[in-house]
Structure 1
Amino acid sequence: MQMTPQEASLRSREICTLAPVMPVLVIRESAAAGPLAEALISGGLPALEVTLRTPAALEAIRDMAQVPGCVVGAGTLITPDDAVAAKEAGAEFGVSPGATDALLDACEEIGLPLLPGAATASEAMRLLSRGYRMQKFFPAEASGGAPALKAIGAPLPQISFCPTGGITPGNVQGYLDLANVVCAGGSWIAPQELVSAGDWTAIRALARAAAQLPA
């Protein structure tokens, strides 16, 4: 089912409002996907971004899509083929580090809400002109951090962001305090060593702490 940019942006915003932090996950073994999703959801973080950076990513999305309460999305969408594969695997939304017309066209055509990336005012304005009011600010820290995002928000208050890239427990609140930030994406909630060890209790605790952050 086709989706307009406005519809896609509205759905992306709804997903971003589910919790103050969206875990950004790099999953190397699909067997960990189900238990990982359950730990994060029970900790209060239902919206999960699985990056398409490993061979196990699509299978992990398939498994997570079956977990009750999980809103799983596919990150690192680069090409139209990525979008189609993510949708077929069960992703409810997509996330991209940037945006191309080909990717935007494909996501709209197949009805996959996209959170497109922007790092400058010009990029944000271009997406806004197409109808995308909910965007990803990436790479957040390398692009000037919270001060840069605050500055972009002054002339462009109609755009909301999910900053991602270099977000840590030490700087996340500075982003969440901004008027133009809905949530922040972070990988610290599911560090690889805890996932590899299957330490779901520790991951649940990290998720719970993130879910309680003031937004």
Structure 2
Amino acid sequence: MFSGIVEAVGVVDKVVDAGGGLRFRINCPQILADAQMGESIAVNGTCLTVIEYTEEWFDVEVTQETLRCTTLGTLKEKQKVNLEKALKVSDRLGGHMVTGHVDTVGHVGAITEDGFSKIMKFTLDGKWAPFFVKKGSVTVEGVSLTVADCGGLSNNSSNAGKGGEFWFTVALIPHTMDVTTLGTIQVGDPVNVETDVIARYVVRLLGDSYLENLNKERESVL
């Protein structure tokens, strides 16, 4: 379990074909002070296992399944990545509950200035719309963020939960852009997105009847 509060930004040192997957070596001394074999570190929001390490770097392996569901397959040597170690029971939950299990890959749709902050718009498949709500939580590239707004085909028509394009926006303060990789992403870039785990369980428990009622309510106000 993670909180979405990035502890450090590392640099990909090596990308090696591991025969059916990839092996990454990531340089980041500041996150390895009390490292242990087998512990979990979130890399751009993806929970991975440390299989080898020194005081300077650590290695992780990424399966084909993870490569299909995340942006990790696009990482190149010298590219920066967001890093967070797994929470301890005594740690503060500064962001929100993050599993490190990326749901989908979205894309940066727009970036606009808003005073000292930036508004970033992300697009993704409409089937994820039921897991978003204004002022709710979302994880982008391992960073815990607050949904400023959301909408699109799946948020205002009978397509909810059935596909189409969906979008959401977040507001980034300068500090977040300075201490994570979000300050360097550009329009069109792919990003790892993890929806709120609580929302996922609620929607699953409510089942299809929830989506049907949601569609009816939305249609009634159109």
TM band (smaller chain): under 0.3
| Greater share of helix | 1
Whose radius of gyration is greater, 1 or 2? 2
| Greater share of strand | 2
TM-score by length of 2: 0.25
